[in-house]
Every structure is written in C-alpha cells, then in structure tokens.
Structure 1
Amino acid sequence: MAPKMIPPASAPAFLAAHGWEGAEILPLAGDASFRRYFRVRRADGATAVLMDAPPDKEDIGPFLAVAGHLLDRGFAPPRPLAIDRAQGLLLLEDFGDDRVGPVLAREPHRERAIYEAAVDILAQIAAQPAPEGLPPYDEAAMAREVLLFTDWYLPAMGAEVDDAAYLDAWAESWGDVARLAEANPVMVLRDYHADNLMVIPGREELGLLDFQDALAGHAAYDLVSLLQDARRDVDPALEEAMIARYVEAANVADPLRFRAHYEILGAQRNTKILGIFTRLWKRDGKAHYLALQPRVWAYLERNLAHPALGPVRGWFDSNVPHKLRAAAWAEGAPQ
C-alpha cells in the first residue's frame, strides 16, 4: 500500500537544524516510488519542500547528482537547501503548485507555448553530451524494462508467453537505436511529461521534477515521454508539430531515422508503462493507475504501426489478442 502521509519523526529536528524550526509540515504528494513530499511553511511565510526518501528503499544520491548536472547546465530543477543522507531527508526549493498538467486543464490556450518551451529544453539538453557517471540506457536496460510487460501485465491477464522470442523481436527492432545511443549519448531524464514540469511563479523557464533516474541514452526518449503522455491526451497534430520543432532546434541530421527511433522508443516506453502500472496495482495496491492503461495502449498501437517495429508488431499480433489490449480495461480492472 502507499505510505501514509505522516512526516517522519526526524523531520522537525532536521528542519530546526537548517533554519526552519517550528515550521508547519503539510502533506504535499507521494509518487509511484516510496518517496513522499511535504510543504514546510515558516512563520514568516517562506516555504520549501521536504522530500522523505527512506534510506532502506530510496537513495537520494542520484537525485542530487542529476540536479547538480541540470543546474550546472542552466536548467531549473529545485535547488537543494539542506541534506541529511543518513535519514533520507532533503529540503528543496518550492516551485509552487502549478504542474503543467493541471495548468493546461485550467488554461488550455497555453498548451502550445508550454510544449514549445518543454521541447526547447530537450533540444538544449541534447546539444551537450551526457554527464560522466550516468549509467547507460543500453539494450540491457531497455530489455529489463520491456520484460515488465511479460512479468506483470500478461500474467495479470492470465497469459503466458515465450520471453526469448519476445526479446528477440525487440532486439531486431531497436539495434540502430542502441548503436546511436552508445555512440552519442545524451542525458535522458526518463519521466519527462506534463506532471513533472512546473510553471514557476515569476520565472519564464519550466521547473523540472522527478529526474533522479536519469541515464545516458537516446535523445528521442524524453521527447516521446513528453508527447505520448500516459496522464493526458496530446493531440496528434500538436505531437507532429513538436517533433518538427525538435528536429529543427536540435539540428537532427536524418529526420526519417530520428522518427523511426522515436516510434521504437515510444513502443518500448509504452510497453514498459503497461507493465509498471500493472505492478503498481498488483504489488503496491495503487489501482488508480489502471485508468490510464487504455491511453497507453492507444499510443502503443500507433507506435507498432511504424515499419521499423515490424518484428515487435508481429510478436504482439501472435501473442496479445485484442481482448487483452485496451479492450480489457474498458470497464475497469480485469477480474
């Protein structure tokens, strides 16, 4: 089950040691991990965000390392204000409450401008090589992720398949992606979508969240994460316009090759997400993610239509019938 939103007992002393004695601690959010977030408010009105990452379950080291890389390159992650690694406590700059997803639900006229800004950030990230020390987003990593589909999704549907044939189909499709990522790796934030981007009061740049799992990989991954968002519908016309914007801004040398890689990584990511959402349901009791499965399937079906994914499409056609795809979720969780 999801952790209860009660501040850790060590929080008041941690805050007091760093100039926040007596600050009010208010529940803010949890996420798909064991991390929890609280807003702390001092008597003078100043606010910050407290991250609670239990050390036996989460390591704040990668968050701090990637935040440092982003800050050094001129981007806007929340700045760390105080750190206690032993207790897994981190006090962060407070960006407010305006995640891009809810902002666009209230103010849909801002969608194009915000997506343009988000795409431009990715083009700027891709203009620099990945920082040293980031693990590679290579074939082994991609394979581990797509196995979430066969390890969690298909068993939940009552289906069993041959993992070897499954991985062979993927390897046949993503070989060129992996070669390019190995030759020219960029920093891939891996969960770059509307609910992890912030409109910061009084600032033009978008704030970045949930980047601690960054890897060194292919530039198209974060673009497809943004434009095929599991949590909100992105109009296909906007998706096409933003792909074109990225291709121009990043000076992509071979747009057709890039588009093939975009669809391959989209298929890989969406397949992984179907497995992750099922695992969150079955293992962690977080059933609310299941409502997102039909949207993810719609993205995946579009990805699989690209010729570069012929082997993977063939495997899906042979092993995952229509009744086990989006149709399985039409009336809620399968029984």
Structure 2
Amino acid sequence: MLPPATAPAFLASHGWGGATIEPLAGDASFRRYFRVRDRGRTAVLMDAPPDREDSRPFLFVAEALLARGFAAPRLIAGDLGQGLLLLEDFGDRRMGPELAAGRVDEEAIYEAAVDLLVALHRVPPPPELPIYDRGELLREVLLFLDWYAPAAGLAVDRESFVAAWDATWGQVLAETARAPVLTLRDYHADNIMLRDGHSGLQALGLLDFQDALAGHRAYDLVSLLQDARRDVSPRLEARMRARFIARAGIAGEAAFRAAYEVLGAQRNVKILGIFVRLRDRDGRRGYVEMLPRVWGYLARNLAHPALAPVSRWFEAQVPHHAREPWCQC
C-alpha cells in the first residue's frame, strides 16, 4: 500500500518534512491510513480521495465528539482538495485484535463500550445531523436486493420486501423522531481503540464515524453486540443489553428489545448486501467470509415477534440453501 505521491509535500508544508510513512490500514471504504513518524512523534495520515470520499462529515463529527468529551482523533493538518488529513495517533490497540489475542477481559471491555454509549446518548446530537429516517433505513436494506439476491441467483419480490419493512419499523421511526441520539453507525470492536494511560471516556478512542446520523439509541448497541467481524455470544449480548437498559434508565424494556431486534435485522440485511458489493464491485473478497456470522445474527433477530412480517418474507423468498453456508453466491 503506497502513500499518495502528494503526501511528502503535504507533510512538509505542515512541519513533518522528512517523516517516514508506513502502511497502517484500509477499511471498507476507499480511505487508506498510514502512520507517520518524525523525531519521536507519530500521527496518522488519512488518504481519502476527494472524488470518492468527502472528509467533511468526518471532521464535523470528530469536532462534535471532542466537544462532548469523547476521544476522537484530533486534526493536526488537512487539505481537503487533496483528500489528506493528518490526525492524532491512537496507537495500535484495537479492541477486536486485543480480544482475539486474549490480552483484555471480554466482559470488562464490553462493559466500557456499553457505558460509553450510555454517556453519548445523554448529550443531544448536533442539530445539523440528518435524522436516520425511513428513506435511509430503506435505502440500506435494499442493498440486499441489489447485490446479495442477484449473486445468490434469487428472483425476489421488491414490493413485498418494502411492505414487510414498512410493517415493522413504525415504532423505531416514532421513537427516533421523538428522542434522537448521536448514532455513529459503525460502532464495533474494530473501530474502538484502547488508549493506554487514559481513563473514563478517554480510555476508548472512536473511529469511522463519518456516516453518523441522529438515530435510535438501540442502533449502535446492536452494532456493537452483533459484530460482523467477531462472534459475540448470546450470553454476552444479553448481559450487555441488560446493562445498557439499566444504566440508560430505559423504562419500557420490551419496547426497547423490539426496537433493538428490528434495527439489528435492518443492519444485518444491509451488511449482507454491502459485503457482496465489496466483492463484486470492488474486488474485495475477504468480507464475504463473514456472511455466515451475519446470517446467524439475523436469525436471532427474525425470531423476535416484532420481525414477523420480515421473517415471513425471508421464509417465502430466500431458501435456506441461499443463506448459509456461503457457497455459490
């Protein structure tokens, strides 16, 4: 992964001339990341090609998080015309790999991540953020029809698919309109950094929040606890969901659980479409290996009575051989 040709001049113009540039990571977007080292200091260079990525939402949400006391990468320097941002370096300790290596206690770190969401929801979202409304929820689940269904050789009915979702998410939409919270939309173990030497809200560094909206308070919780990239046991999911409900002071536990499952199903159906799109449009094959896990989470969601219309649609339209294992799709 080579840095953009413009990176050395950009760095030099902001006091980082002669710094070394090392590949760090990419993600499911067109953004790439590099670590910059210079005389004992480090930073992260984000390369977000302006013809493919708009970095302004990232900067806006980062400022909003910082203003609310949360740990988002601080901007050191930027050139939006070139798509280059130099950001604070949170180090290498991502929650997902740390858990996989057994270096952190799973229950304790999930408790901290849940408590961060509780704190995040206690402060109002920026008024400029759009609402996570029906149009956006629907656009996302339609990715399943646009990408997964054709790849699996399925001829499915679009009209009944939309009708099933419209019969399902009325409560979610009403609660979102009444009491929206800042919703990061990709809050999971690989986007949470463990920051040595920090405590409280500053102990967890937040990444990949540029798509944030004003949404339902269950969305980021289900994103965390139904993680496409790692197995989260039903036991741990139930304990962390109960912790969130208790600490957030949610009175209607049954209604919240219904919203949680509806948004979990919406997110997992979206992910099924996105991961196939990453393979078929972008040539990034690794993501489809996670599809059996996503189907497993979706099965949990569809078992809830609130998802009955969507569950009936899947039973009628998507035979089980087209779900898991991920074979011919």
TM-score normalised to the size of structure 1?
Answer: 0.96
Secondary structure at the aligned position of 2:167 is classed as: helix
Asked if 2 retains the 8 angstrom alpha-carbon contact of 1:129 and 1:184, the reply is no
Q: In the TM superposition, what is the alpha-carbon distance from 1:264 to its structure 2 partner?
A: 0.3
* 3-state SS of paired residue (1:269): helix
Tell me, yes or no, if structure 1 residue 212 matches structure 2 residue 210. yes
The C-alpha deviation readout for 1:193-235, integer Å capped at 9, x for no partner, is 0000001122221000000000111010000000000000111
* Residue number among 107, 112, 115 corresponding to 1:112 in the alignment: 107
1:38-62 Cα deviation digits (max 9, x unpaired): 00000x2211000010111101100
- Counterpart in 2 of 1:103? 98
Paired residues of 1:23 and 1:40 also in contact (CA < 8 A) = yes
In structure 1, the residue matched to 2:41 is: 46
Counterpart check, 1:61 vs 2:61? no
Q: Which digits, 9 at most, give the CA deviation of each residue in 1:71-130, with x for residues without a partner?
A: 000000111111111111100011111100110112265111110110011111111222
Structure 1 residue aligned with 2:26: 30
SS of 2:227's equivalent in the other structure is coil
**Residues 185 and 213 of structure 2 are in contact (CA less than 8 Å); yes or no, is this contact kept in structure 1?**
yes
1:1-335 aligned at under 5 Å gives the runs: 5-42=1-38, 44-107=39-102, 110-204=105-199, 205-327=203-325, 329=326, 333-334=327-328
Counterpart residue type for residue 57 of structure 1:
R
Q: Which runs of 4+ in 1 moved over 3 A?
A: none
> Are the counterparts in 1 of residues 183 and 215 from structure 2 also a CA contact under 8 Å?
yes
Read off the aligned partner of 1:323 and give its amino acid letter. Answer: H
Q: What is the DSSP-based 3-state SS (H/G/I as helix, E as strand, rest coil) of the residue aligned with 2:168? A: helix
Amino acid at match of 1:279: R
TM-score by length of 2: 0.97
- Structure 1 range deviating more: 208-217 or 128-137: 128-137
Aligned residues: 326
Contact 1:69–1:131, Cα closer than 8 Å, also in 2:
yes
Root-mean-square deviation (CA), in Å?
A: 1.0
Give the Cα–Cα distance (whole angstroms) in 1 for the partners of residues 103 and 264 of structure 2: 25
**Percentage of pairs with the same residue:** 63
* Counterpart-to-counterpart distance in 2, 1:81 and 1:109: 30
Secondary structure of the 1:83 match is strand
2:21–2:34 Cα contact (<8 Å) kept: yes
Q: What SS class does the counterpart of residue 173 from structure 1 fall into?
A: coil
Distance in structure 2 (CA, Å) of the matches to 1:248 and 1:16: 51
Give the drift of 1:133.
0.9
Amino acid at match of 1:306: H
Counterpart secondary structure, 2:182: strand
Secondary structure of the structure 1 residue equivalent to 2:45: strand
- Rounded to whole Å, the distance in 1 between the matches of 2:235 and 2:297 is 14
Contact map agreement 2:98 2:104 (CA 8 A) in 1? no
Partners of 1:133 and 1:163 lie apart in 2 by: 33
Distance 1:171 1:160 in 2: 21
- Opposite residue 334 of structure 1, the aligned amino acid is Q
